[in-house]
Amino acid sequence: MFFLPIFFTYTGLRTSIGGLDTWADWGLCLAIVATASIAKLGGGYLAARRSGFDHPQSAIMITTPALRHYLKRTALVGSSGIGVDGAGPEAAARTRG
């Protein structure tokens, strides 16, 4: 469980979308992201509703962890570019590929 966030951080920082050259590639990417988002949000919403929460509470429960994740990732990527934790601009450039 400890290494799971490290894996996703490492993988996310090494991801390059430069290989998406055609509209078909972008369409496939959009379809994958939409399917994953609907599955995550829909599954969380349904689980919250089955647990007895009403609609507004269920909506809050599915959006809050997602926002926290995006803020943490933004802070991580941003801090690597300004030299926090010993990672200067050169290290950030190497990390991004």
Its pTM stands at: 0.53
Confidence of residue 9 (pLDDT cuts 50, 70, 90): confident
- Stretch 13-40: mean pLDDT, rounded? 88
Task: Provide the token pair at 40.
Answer: 């995550």
Domain boundaries, the chain: 23-81
The tens digit of pLDDT for each residue in 38-97 reads 998 899 899 999 999 999 998 888 877 666 666 666 666 655 555 544 444 454 455 444
Between CA 43 and CA 89 the distance in angstroms is: 39
Neighbour-count burial of 16, counting CB atoms closer than 10 A to its CB (0-12 exposed, 13-18 middle, 19+ buried):
exposed
| pLDDT at res. 62 | 83
Amino acid 24: pLDDT? 94
